[in-house]
Structure formats: C-alpha cells, structure tokens
Structure 1
Amino acid sequence: MLGYSFLAPSLVLFGLFLFYPLIQSVYLSFHITDPRGRVAAYVGLDNFTALLSSDMLWNSLKVTALFTLFTVPTGIILGVISAALTHIRWPGMKLYQFLFSMPLAMSVSTSAVIWTILFHPTLGILNYLLSLGGIAPVQWLTSPSTALVSISLMTVWMNFGFNYIIVLSGLQGIPGDLVESAKIDGAGPIRAFMQIVLPLLSPTLFFLTVISIISAFQAFGQIHLLTKGGPAGATEVFVYSIYKEAFVNYQYGTGSALALVLFVIVLLLTIIQFAVVEKKVHYQ
C-alpha cells in the first residue's frame, strides 16, 4: 500500500491525460459528431473504411514517410559526426559542446520565428547566400517542391541538440582502453571508429532511431506555425491531418479514427524495429 500511495499521483495524471483520452478516442472513432462536436450517431467501422478510401489519409502517409526519411537519418548522422568531433579532448571543445546543445533549449515557436526569417523570400539570409553564388531565390515555404524540405531542414536543426547529447553520452560510456588498444594494433582513427566505436555505440543509435521515428510521426508544431499543411497539402503530415479533421472541420469521429490509425502505425514500426534492427545491436 505504501508503494501504491507513492505511485498514486502519477497514476492519477496518467489516467486523466493519457488513459481517459485514449478510451475517449476509441469511443469517438465509432461515432459521427455534429458541427458542435457532440456525438450524433453510432457508425461502427464506417469512419475507418471511409479513411481507407480517402486521398487525405494516403497523402498524409506519403508526406509523413518523406518527412521521416528526410529528418531521421540526417539528424542521426549529423549527431554522430558532431559528437565524434567534439569528443576529442582538445582546448575549446566544451564551448562547441555547449553550442551544439543549444537547439535543445529552443521552443518550437521560437525556432519557427527564427526560421521564418531565414526562409523569407526577399529578406532571408538563405536566399541572400544563394544570390552570392548567382542562384535564383527559392520560395522555401510557398512552393510545393521545397516546402517539405524546408520544414525538414528546420526539424533537423531543432532535433540536433537532443541527438548530439544522446550520442555524446554514448561515446563517453565507451571505454577508452578499447580504442587505444586498436590504435596500438595499427588501426587508424577512422577504422577504429568504424569497427570499435560504432558497434559499441549501436545501443545508443538504436534508441535514437526508435525515438526519432516516433517523433517524426508526431511532428506538428513547426508545420502548424510555418505552413499550416500547405501549400496544396505538401506538408500535411499525419498529425496535422488529425488536427485539421478534429479541430478545423469538427469531425471528432474521423479525427479519432485517424489518431488510432497513427497509434497502430507507430506501434507496428516500433515492433518491427525491435524485431529486426535490434538483432544488429551489440550490447557488449
């Protein structure tokens, strides 16, 4: 009873903000609602069957998959490279570690303001740098061909601090004796990193991959603040489709069905990663 009494506050919070919304979403997914959001009628699986035949679902799935492909590998690779470079005990490395960790302290709204200025078609620094090379200005957020890439670029920067700290922590947990032994045996820095450090870093990279994919499928703030799913649905990721269906169109039944579809997709992806990718992880 003493243990449960300590757990009680957390269980109450989980019940209010996790379990109850989950149960309510399941309930609403089998109903349609009126324009005021009140339950109107029970429709069974009609919301799910309607989603499977709608272009909105497949477009949001395609956009989310591309967004994940653009952000997850790039973010992890940049995190590994930057952490490996600043893990070296040279003077001034603490300053670089601090600077590389700074994006983690930025809120989504603050980051959106910064990148809105950077992406500005006439006053932005990005188009100014392109103009120095004689390249025509790019409509970063208003062109369907570049909007998702622009959002992905901002997201990689936003997640860079988290990726960097996690990889750096993993590197600091690797015994230096192993790397030194490899160098004594004639291995160069690159070979020692690829054959000794990366395998020992694989649990960290596996964790980071799982978390990054889940985070990519839950992306919302930067899309809502910068493009609102546009132009022409080019950045309408899955979570933004849920938001638009539930809180713009007031179709809580369809929105709840979309949320459950997202839950199943993320769950399946996570199970596949644990079943397939984890076999290549070296825990010792």
Structure 2
Amino acid sequence: MSHTPPSGKQKERRLSQVKPLPYLLIAPAMALFTLFTFYPFIKAIVLSFALTDKAGNFTQWVGFDNWIRVLTKSSFWDVVVITLKMAAINLVFTFCIAMVFALLATKKVRFSKFYQTMYALPMAIASSPAAAIFLFIYRQKNGLLNNLLGTNIAWTNESPQALWSVCAMTIWMHIGVSFIFLLVGFRNVSEDLLESAFLDGAGPLRRIKDIILPLASPQIFFVLFLNIGSSFKSFAQIRLLTQGGPANSTKNLIYYIYENAITNGRFETACVQALVLFGLIFLITRIQFAMEKKVVHYQ
C-alpha cells in the first residue's frame, strides 16, 4: 500500500493540536536539570582542558596536558582500583542481603509489617548520624564490635579492616531501598504458580531459581542499576570514618575529586577525574543494558 504524505493543511492542523501545557509543566524540572546537571557537566568538560584558579575559574587553555598528567600517575590508577573494588563489594553484598530479606518477607504473616519496616529503616537515616553509630561500633576501646569479638582492632585505622568497615556502612545504608523494590517484585509472583510448582515437587530453592527470580527480573534489573551508581559514589562514610586512610586504602574517586577540588584547589584535576568516573559508570551501565534483553523477562 502506498503512503500519501500529509498535506500542508494536515501539518498545520497537527501543529495547532500541540498544547503548551505539558511543556510548561516540565519546564521547572528541565530548568533544574540544566542548572544542576547539564551546565556543571559541560563546564567540567571545558575545565578539564584548562587551568583554573583556587576558586575554580578559568585562567588559560592547556589542551590535553591535564589529562596526560592525571592518567600517567600511578596513584590515580591505585584510586581507580580501590574504587572498583569498593563498588564491587557494595554492589554484591547489598543486592544479596536485600534479596535474602525480601525472600524472607515475601509471604505476609502476622507482624510482617514490623520486620519489613526494620529491614527498610536504614534508608531513613542520614549519613552523619549513621557514621556516628558506626564509629561507636568500630571504636578500638570499648567499641561494640571489639567487645563482641574479644579483639582490640582499630577498625577504621588499619588496613584492610578500614575498607571493609566503610563498605559495611555503605551496604547497611543501601539495603533498605533495594529491599523495598525486590519485595514488590517477589510479591507480584503469582501464588497459584508457586503452589503448582510445589505440588509438582519443586523445592524452595528450585522455586526461587526457576520462578521467583525470572518473574521478578525487571525489579532485579532496576535494583542493580540503582546500586551501580550508589556503589561508585560513596563519599560521606569515607569522609566521616576514615578520611581516605589508612595510607589511602579507602580513598575512592569521589573522595579524590573532593580532595583535589576543595582541599587542594585543583579544580581542573578534579574535572578530569570526575569525567573518568562518569566514563566508568557509563560503561558499566551500558554493559548492563546490553544484557537486559537476555536476562530480563517482562510480562
């Protein structure tokens, strides 16, 4: 069948049907995105090819000198390795613990709302009070963890304990959000389907592996996507617990960017490092989206 292109009158009629209200409604959000996301991102790209003063203002062009200086430093790649290691630990443990909690809470029973609230409670606590709690737990003298284990370890001042201490706080803070989304996905699985599998002889692990996880794959995909960004952007817990120590063993890219920009006044260096971090997160999320069609099953 041949397709007749629209006439001039039809085009005018379509344009006249376009209403300005939707664009007015999204205008405030777009203005905020432009001011706090798009503009800083473009400015970071520009400043990565320039020198700046201590206030972050442009002084002169230097081309790729900043990139060469940053990328040829072994200390920078040490920080990248620590960043990837911390992100992997946070991502894996946050997802696994949240999934166990969600599976335990899938079936509605008496007092289930109480422990569901307890599982999700960490998401309501800000970084500063959470850090104060964990500093009390990690304290070398009379700390809760040392008292329980009968040890005398400086958890935030010794390596590798410091890295795991920071990761433990990060995991604890992110479990709540992951738990809520996974719980919604698991509870959307049909009870009739699970009961049929049970009658056919499928055990609990088989039902989880072959029914619950595949049917909840959209929620699992979203939780993994959500945790990738948050796993790379751990800052407050590092700043409050270890300040990047001991011997830079807990210094990730976010903290390194903060240190160069705010402490040292090297905004051009921080911009290069920020763009490298953006590239890492972008690459990992693109790999995740490339796998979406193979592992995610939409009903």
Taking structure 1 as the reference length, the TM-score comes to 0.95
Match of 1:178 among 187, 193, 204: 193
* Number of equivalenced pairs: 280
Q: Secondary structure in 2 aligned to 1:225?
A: helix
Contact in 2 for aligned 1:28/1:39 (Cα 8 Å): yes
Alignment partner, residue 142 of structure 2: 123
The TM-score with structure 2 as length reference comes to 0.90
- For residues 233-281 of structure 1, the C-alpha deviation after alignment (integer angstroms, 9 at most, x for no partner) is 1110111111111111101111111111111111111101111355222
Distance in 1 between the 2:213 and 2:24 partners?
Answer: 43
Instruction: Choose from 164, 173, 195 the match for 1:158.
Output: 173
Residue 39 (structure 1) shift = 2.4
Distance 1:229 1:91 in 2: 45
Moved more, 34-43 or 207-216: 34-43
Query: Residues 99-248 of structure 1 correspond to what in structure 2 (within 5 A)?
Result: 99-131=118-150, 136-248=151-263
Instruction: Give the alignment's Cα RMSD to 1 decimal.
Output: 1.3
Q: Does 1:41 align with 2:60?
A: yes
Counterpart contact for 2:54–2:267, Cα < 8 Å:
no
Could you tell me how far apart the structure 2 residues matched to 1:196 and 1:34 are? 58
1:220 is aligned with what amino acid? F
2:264 matches 1:262: no
* Pick aligned residue for 1:271 from 286, 294, 297: 286
2-structure distance, mates of 1:250, 1:56: 18
Q: Secondary structure at the match of 1:283?
A: coil
Give the Cα separation in 1 of the matches to 2:249 and 2:42.
32
Identity, % of aligned pairs?
Answer: 38
The higher radius of gyration belongs to 2
* Aligned-partner Cα distance in 1 for 2:290–2:56: 40
Q: Deviations over 1:37-77 (max 9, x none)?
A: 33222111111111111123211111111111211111111
Aligned-partner residue type, residue 295 of structure 2? K
SS in 2 for 1:138: coil
Per-residue CA deviation, residues 70-95 of structure 1 (Å, 9 max, x unaligned), is 11111111111111111222222111
| Distance (whole Å) between structure 2 residues aligned to residue 138 and residue 200 of structure 1 | 44
| Deviation digits for residues 172-211 of structure 1 (CA, Å, limit 9, x no counterpart) | 2212111111112121222212211111122211211121
C-alpha separation in 2, matches of 1:11 and 1:202 = 31
Unaligned runs of 5+ in 1: none
Q: Does 2:46 correspond to 1:27? A: yes
